A and B are shown apart, each in its own frame.
Chain A
Amino acid sequence: MPKVTMRVNGREVSGEVEGRTLLVQFLREGLGLTGTHVGCDTSQCGACTVHVNGLQVKSCTTFALDVDGAEVTTIEGMANADGSLSVIQQAFQDHHGLQCGFCTPGMVMAAAALLKENPKPTEAQIRHHLEGNICRCTGYHNIVKAVLAASGQDVSAIAAE
Chain B
Amino acid sequence: MPKDGIGASIKRREDVRFLTGTGRYTDDINLRGQSYAWFVRSQVAHGKLNKVDTTAAAKMPGVLRIFTAKDFEGVGGLPCGWQIHDRHGKPMLEPKHPVLAEGKVRHVGDPIAVVVAETEAQARDAADAVVIDIDELPAVLDMKAAVAGGPLVHDDIGSNLCYDWGFVEENKAATDAAFAKADHVTTLELVNNRLAPNAMEPRAAIGDYDFATDMHTLYTTSQNPHVIRLLMGAFVLGIPEHKLRVVAPDVGGGFGSKIYHYAEEAFVTFAAKQLRRPVKWTATRSESFITDAQGRDHVTKIELALDKQGHFLALRTETYANMGAYLSTFSTAIPTYLHGTLMAGTYKTPHIYVNVKAVFTNTVPVDAYRGAGRPEATYQIERVIDKAARELGLDPLEIRRRNFIKADEFPYQTPVAVVYDTGDYDATMNKLESLADLAGFEKRRAESAKAGKLRGLGVNTYIEACGIAPSHLVGQLGARAGLYESATVRVNATGGVVVMTGSHSHGQGHETTFPQVIAEMIGIPVESVEIVHGDTANVPMGMGTYGSRSLAVGGSAMVKATNKIIAKAKKIAAHLMEASDADIELKDGKFSVAGTDKSVEWGAVCLAAYVPHNYPLESLEPGLEETAFYDPSNFTYPSGAYACEVEVDPDTGHVKVCAFTAVDDFGNVVNPMIVEGQVHGGIGQGIGQALLEHAVYDGNGQMIAGSFMDYAMPRAGDLPFYKVDHSCATPCTHNPLGVKGCGEAGAIGSPPAVVNAVVDALQRAGKKVSHIDMPLSPYRVWSAIQNA
On A, residues with C-beta under 8 Å from B are 18, 20, 28-29, 33-42, 44-45, 47, 74-76, 78-79, 85, 89, 92-94, 96, 98-105, 108, 123-124, 126-128, 130-131, 133-145, 158-161
Contact = CB atoms under 8 A, between A and B. Distances in A.
> Which 10 pairs of residues, A with B, have the shortest CB-CB distance?
A35-B21, A139-B684, A101-B18, A102-B252, A100-B507, A44-B708, A99-B507, A161-B673, A75-B21, A34-B28
B81 interface: no
A8 B255 CA distance: 35
Contacts of A158: 721
Contacts of A39: 200-202, 252, 285
8 contacts: A45-B200, A93-B19, A96-B12, A98-B15, A101-B15, A101-B19, A136-B713, A139-B680
Interface in B700-733: 707-709, 713-717, 719, 721-724
Given A130-B715, A131-B715, A102 B25 contact: yes
A127 B717 contact: yes
Given A41-B284, A101-B23, A160-B680, A126 B200 contact: no
A141 B708 CA distance: 21
Nearest to B506: A100
B508 A99 contact: yes
Contacts of A89: 19-20
Contact of A128 (B23, B672, B717): B717
A28 B120 CA distance: 14
B121 A18 contact: yes
Nearest to B677: A96
Given A41-B286, A96-B673, A96-B677, A160 B722 contact: yes
Given A28-B28, A100-B252, 11 more contacts: A41-B284, A75-B20, A76-B20, A96-B674, A100-B251, A101-B17, A105-B18, A127-B717, A140-B714, A159-B721, A161-B673
A1 B514 CA distance: 50
Nearest to A21: B121
B9 A161 contact: yes
Nearest to A128: B717
Contacts of B202: 38-39
Given A96-B673, A102-B252, A45 B285 contact: yes
Interface in B4-37: 9, 11-12, 14-25, 27-28, 30
A28 B9 CA distance: 34
Nearest to A138: B681
A94 B722 contact: no
Given A76-B21, A85-B16, A131-B715, A47 B672 contact: no
A104 B201 CA distance: 11
Contacts of B199: 100, 102, 136
Contact of A131 (B252, B676, B717): B717
B447 to A, nearest CB: 18
Contact of A41 (B683, B684, B707): B707
A103 B680 contact: no
Contacts of B508: 99
A143 B716 contact: yes
Given A39-B202, A44-B709, A101-B250, A140 B20 contact: no
B509 interface: yes
Which of A39, A103, A130, A133 neighbours the largest number of chain B CB atoms within 10 Å of its CB? A39
B198 interface: yes
Contacts of B111: none
Contacts, number: 199
B219 to A, nearest CB: 14
Nearest to B286: A41
Contacts of B25: 34, 37, 102
A156 B284 CA distance: 40
Contacts of A34: 21, 24-25, 27-28
B738 interface: no
A136 B200 contact: yes
B224 interface: no
Nearest to A88: B19
Contacts of B717: 124, 127-128, 130-131
A139 B27 CA distance: 25
Contact of A138 (B684, B687, B715): B684
Contacts of B23: 35, 101
B659 to A, nearest CB: 10
B709 A127 contact: no
B467 interface: no
B746 interface: yes
B363 interface: no
B220 to A, nearest CB: 15
Interface residues of B, number: 63
B253 interface: yes
B676 A160 contact: yes
A59 to B, nearest CB: 13
Given A94-B11, A100-B507, A144 B716 contact: yes
A65 to B, nearest CB: 15
Contacts of B673: 96, 160-161
Which of B30, B676, B680, B714 neighbours the largest number of chain A CB atoms within 10 Å of its CB? B680
A3 to B, nearest CB: 18
A52 B486 CA distance: 47
Contacts of B30: 29
Nearest to A92: B19
A131 to B, nearest CB: 6
A99 B18 CA distance: 9
Given A35-B21, A39-B285, A99-B677, A140 B684 contact: yes
B685 interface: yes
Contacts of B201: 37, 39, 100, 102
Contacts of B685: 136, 139
Interface in B335-360: none
Contacts of A99: 253, 507-509, 677-678, 681
B682 interface: yes
Contacts of A142: 677, 680
Contacts of A78: 20-21
Contacts of A37: 25, 200-201, 252
Nearest to A47: B200
Contacts of B22: 35, 76
Contacts of A45: 200, 285, 708
A59 B263 CA distance: 30
Nearest to A126: B716
Nearest to A77: B21
B748 to A, nearest CB: 14
A2 to B, nearest CB: 15
A105 B507 CA distance: 15
A103 B719 CA distance: 17
Which of A29, A36, A130, A142 neighbours the largest number of chain B CB atoms within 10 Å of its CB? A142
Contacts of B721: 123, 141, 144-145, 158-159
B18 A104 contact: yes
Contacts of B24: 34
A33 B708 contact: no
Which of A45, A102, A135, A159 neighbours the largest number of chain B CB atoms within 10 Å of its CB? A102
A161 B253 CA distance: 21
A62 B149 CA distance: 51
Nearest to A160: B676
B514 to A, nearest CB: 16
A33 B28 CA distance: 9
Contacts of B121: 18, 20
Contacts of A160: 673, 676, 680, 722-724
Interface in B162-210: 198-202
A137 to B, nearest CB: 5
B724 A103 contact: no
Nearest to A140: B716
Interface string B232-259: 0000000000000000001111010000
A85 B19 CA distance: 8
A134 to B, nearest CB: 5
Given A76-B21, A94-B11, A139 B682 contact: yes
